[in-house]
Structure formats: structure tokens, C-alpha cells
Amino acid sequence: MPELPEVESVRNGLQPIVGRRIIRASLFRRDMLESLSAPLNIPRAMLQGRRVERIDRVGKQLGIIADGGSVLGIHLGMTGQMIVSHPDLPRSTHDHAHWVLDDGLALTFRDPRRFGGLRAAHSASELFENLGPDALEIRAKELKLGCGNSTRSIKAALLDQRVLAGVGNIYADESLFRARIRPSKECRCMTDDQFRALAGSIRKVLSEAISYGGSTLRDYRKPDGERGEAQRLHRVYGRAGMPCINCQTTLKSDTIGQRTTVWCPRCQ
DNA sequence: CGACCCCTGCGC
DNA sequence: GCGCAGGGGTCG
């Protein structure tokens, strides 16, 4: 569900827990927690007794950084939510983890489809080690390097988190539309100008979406329960068969990189 | 590289 | 009832 703008909005919504101490941590499903470096002591991995120093993010990966150097990674998958509330909020079906903090705060990790999860790490760098540069700050040179001389489509490359971290299906299509590049274009055929335009579009599309609080299509919610409004900015995603906002040509749709892809056959 | 799998819920 | 959904991993 969430791409970089949604995860960044979640990070912003988690600020109330920064500086708070975790009194009690509970894990309701063991298989939702994995350890990057064994062995695994659950209360320890869940940061019980620690104070939250800050929340980091690279791409779609969040990390709760605690005192003493422990790090707990959170990946929201398609339907994951982090909910800041009170300790007495009743547990619901798809809640997998719960933290009681001081100051009357509580945190819940909920994820109906269970594509997300928690990961215990020894450091932030360990948590983020397999990710490419964060998409909010992607440079044309890095994008070109990550794509290489590959025959795969530029869209598939944008979805590859080792090339750049944070772009998913919505913002890949939106960035390609703004840069006027066809999603099926092979990486090896991209010009330097196109890499420049695409890198710029990615940064712009993502930062605008953050300022709107992320896109709420179905179940995405900020930690305070509010919806994002960035879906108002979508120019091609979800608009297959409708007219292009630039030229009125009917937007096309096909599967590229295993995902539904929408583009304007004239502008792109 | 693409194909297929993981899982639940929703709208048609 | 079916197909689809913002995520990723593992195969061949």
C-alpha cells in the first residue's frame, strides 16, 4: 500500500513517541518479527525498556532507533498501519504488535494482509543495507548507474528498491508521465536528458505527495487515523481509459514489471 | 529477465 | 464468485 510519501507521513505521525520510554512490548504473531542477526530475544528486539531516540526512513523502510543502539525496522507492505493511541484501545483482528509507552501513549502495528513485518537490527545501516539511494534525493547520475545497460523496462527499474528506494506503482507511473517517458522504454535506450528529467520528476512528485500527507486509496491512514489527500494529484494512476489531462488522448493500460501500468500513448 | 507465490478485503 | 489491490521474495 504505502510508497515513500505515505511512509514519510507515517514517520511524521510517529513523532509523539520520540523521547518516550517503552514500558511494555507485546508481539501477537511471532512470524511478523524477524531478526537480521540472530539470536532473537523478543522483548529485547521489540525495544522493551528502551527510550525512542528517533525514527529513520530510507525508501519505504522505517526504523525506530532506541537508546543503547537497538533498532527495530518496520515495513508496512501493502496494508500495514502504525497507530498512535492510548493503552486501553481494544485489540482488533489484524493487530500483530503493541507497545505501551510512558506519558499514556500506545503504539499498534496492524497489517491485514501480512505482507509487512518487523525486523530487529543492530544498527540503522544494517537495516537499510540492501536499499539504493532514497528516491527523495535521487540524482540523474545515480539513476543511470542503477539502471545500467539493462534491457528491462524503465518502469521495472523504478520498482527495484536496489536501484532507488521508495518508488512504487503509483509514483512510478506519475513520474514517468511527468517526464514524458513511456514506461516500457528499455533502460539501455534512455538518454542522459531523459534520466535528468526522470530524476527531477521523481523528486517533485514525491515531495508534493508528502505535502498532501500521502495518497489514501483504500486503507492507508496516518498514525492519527487521518487520510492523506495526495490521490488528488494523480494524473495517470487509476485513470486508464480516461482522457490525458494534457492532450485528451485515451490513457492506455497494460502490465509492465508485473504491475498494472497506465500511460498516455501520445505524451509519453 | 518474467512467472509465480505470499495474504485479506473490497467492489463489481 | 472473480479479479484486483499501494508490498516483496524466490524460482528457473
Q: Tell me the per-residue pLDDT of A79-135, one tens digit each, with 9 for 90 and over.
A: 999 999 999 999 999 999 999 999 999 999 999 999 999 999 999 999 999 999 999
User: A70: how many CB neighbours lie within 10 A of its CB?
Assistant: 20
pLDDT-based confidence at residue A157 (cuts at 50, 70, 90) = very high
Domains belonging to chain A, first-starting first, are 4-127 (3.20.190.10), 135-263 (1.10.8.50)
- pLDDT cut 90: percent of chain A above it: 96
Kindly tell me if the per-residue pLDDT of A1 is higher than 80.
no
Contact A213, A225 (CB under 8 A): no
CA torsion sign for A65, A77, A16, A100 is negative
What is the DSSP code (8-state) at residue A152? S
User: A32: how many CB neighbours lie within 10 A of its CB?
Assistant: 17
**Nearest nt (C1') to A156 (CA)?**
B1
Q: List, for residues A200-210, the tens digit of each pLDDT value.
A: 999 999 999 99
Which bases of chain C are contacted by protein, using any atom under 7 A from a CB?
Answer: 4-9
**Nearest nt (C1') to A160 (CA)?**
C8
Buried b (16+ CB within 10 A) or exposed e, A147-156: beebebbbbb
Contact A178, A194 (CB under 8 A): no
What is the three-class DSSP state of A254? strand
Q: How far is CA A73 from CA A47, A100, A190, in A?
A: 11, 18, 35
CA torsion sign for A124, A128, A130, A132 is negative
Tell me the HSE value of A45 on the side-chain side, using a 13 A CA sphere. Answer: 22
Give the CA-to-C1' distance from A238 to B11 in angstroms.
15
Grid cell digits, residue A186:
528499455
pLDDT-based confidence at residue A13 (cuts at 50, 70, 90) = very high
What is the three-class DSSP state of A12? helix
What is the three-class DSSP state of A1? coil
pLDDT-based confidence at residue A38 (cuts at 50, 70, 90) = confident
Kindly tell me if the per-residue pLDDT of A145 is higher than 70.
yes
Give the CA-to-C1' distance from A217 to B6 in angstroms.
22
What is the three-class DSSP state of A252? strand
Give the CA-to-C1' distance from A246 to C11 in angstroms.
42
Kindly tell me if the per-residue pLDDT of A43 is higher than 70.
yes
Give the CA-to-C1' distance from A150 to B1 in angstroms.
9
pLDDT at A228: 93
Residue nearest to nucleotide B8 (CA to C1'): A113
User: What value does the mean pLDDT take over residues A65-88?
Assistant: 96
Q: Which of A261, A228, A255 is nearest to A12 (CA)?
A: A228
Q: Which residues touch strand B (CB under 7 A)?
A: A 79, 93-94, 112-115, 150-153, 156, 187, 218, 257-258
Residue nearest to nucleotide B3 (CA to C1'): A258
Which residues of A form the catalytic set? 2-3, 60, 259
Q: Which of A136, A88, A98, A94 is nearest to A115 (CA)?
A: A94
Give the CA-to-C1' distance from A46 to C7 in angstroms.
22
Residue nearest to nucleotide B10 (CA to C1'): A218
